[in-house]
Amino acid sequence: MRLTIAKPAVAAFEGDLQSSLIVLDSIKSEFGFSNGELKINSNLILDTGFQVIVRGKDLEDLGKLEKNLAGLGRQIPSAVHAPYQYDDPDLWHTADLSQGREGYENLLKVAGFSDNIGAESIAIHPNAIREKSMFSDQSYNHERRIQCLDTVINNVLEAQSHTKKVSVDLENKPFPTTNANNSYATYTITLGPFEDISRYIGAGGKLTFDTCHYGITRETINGAIERFGEELTNEKLRKFEMLGYFAKDYVKQPRIDEVMIRFGKQINNIHLNDGSIYRPVLETGRPDSNKRLPPANGLQIWWEAYVPGYGELCDSRIIFPWLKENQKDDRRVFLTLEVGEFDGNYKDSPRFMESARSMIKDLTEHFG
């Protein structure tokens, strides 16, 4: 297996791409990569690359993004992250794969762009997110939720049939999800629980597996089961405004490492970061354990993008059981470190550097 440690970089900003390239070159120099790669063992080779971020506003000028990437002067192993429009409910439909066609048409644009730049994976969110007011319609029931999920699955598989090379890899979502400022909860209705992801995999889909997203969903669902027990009913969920899923969706969720092994070869891209219920984030990148954001009714709002091991859900080594089982695969898998630069120092990317160093040292120690 070729495991590509990928750094998120905004494709619209040529400067961001250039500075990200400097960071990746620094990592390779520090660890003695030869010809751009580091051989961990006879089965496992590391290299570095980008997660190319495409924003909603970039969809009308993808040619500019292609020029920015071509301007780097070399081909970089790349995965693409498609737009998701979480912070503006008026624009949710532009990326929604659960109903309508606009989200699907925009996905095709991103797929074409990804093929043009030689990307190997597209991470896409189903974007079936709603504010709580949208659940007041009595037509929204469990059957409708599953219909939305199946529409997402069908759209992803259809998009895959139109690509030349790139793999369209649906990303699992956290439940609940929040806006970027973490000030209020939104409600996702597909691809959070293990059962939803399994339905997608069973239909032949490939996956971007986000460890923290699954960890948040697991904590939410298992926590509700423990809290309410036999009183976990649709009525109870509505009372506490725990919306989006129904009582029959609250099935005990396996551990992160267990589900990764079950999904096995269907995982093309791993998003690795950590999450916490604590705010604010200190300059160290660690949560302030003295402060806690209160729950939004029955749902605890989580925050992600920590260096793995700094929060409460994911250590770097959470992926090692899966990697042990799959390292002999003759393919590339992206390991995208979606950590945040909490002190605003994007130029030197200290959080990404810390996470990458830790990951490479752990891989070398465990698999070398």
CATH number of the domain enclosing 148? 3.20.20.150
d(CA 53, CA 269): 14
pLDDT value of position 85: 81
Smallest Cα–Cα separation from 292: which of 274, 279, 307, 273? 279
pLDDT value of position 183: 61
Domains identified in the chain, total number: 1
Q: For residue 112, with 0-12 CB atoms within 10 Å meaning exposed, 13-18 middle and 19 or more buried, which class applies?
A: middle
Instruction: For the chain of 368 residues, list the mean pLDDT of each consecutive stretch of 10.
Output: 97 94 96 97 98 95 96 94 84 89 96 97 88 76 94 97 96 79 70 96 98 95 93 91 91 98 98 84 73 72 88 94 98 96 79 96 97
pLDDT value of position 317: 96
pLDDT value of position 298: 76
Smallest Cα–Cα separation from 13: which of 346, 272, 307? 346
Q: Which residue has the tokens 């190997």?
A: 120
**Which domain range does residue 173 map to?**
2-367
pLDDT value of position 279: 64
The reported pTM is: 0.95
Phi, psi values for residue 301, rounded to 5°: -85, 125
pLDDT value of position 4: 98
Contact between residue 207 and residue 172 where contact means Cβ atoms under 8 Å apart: yes
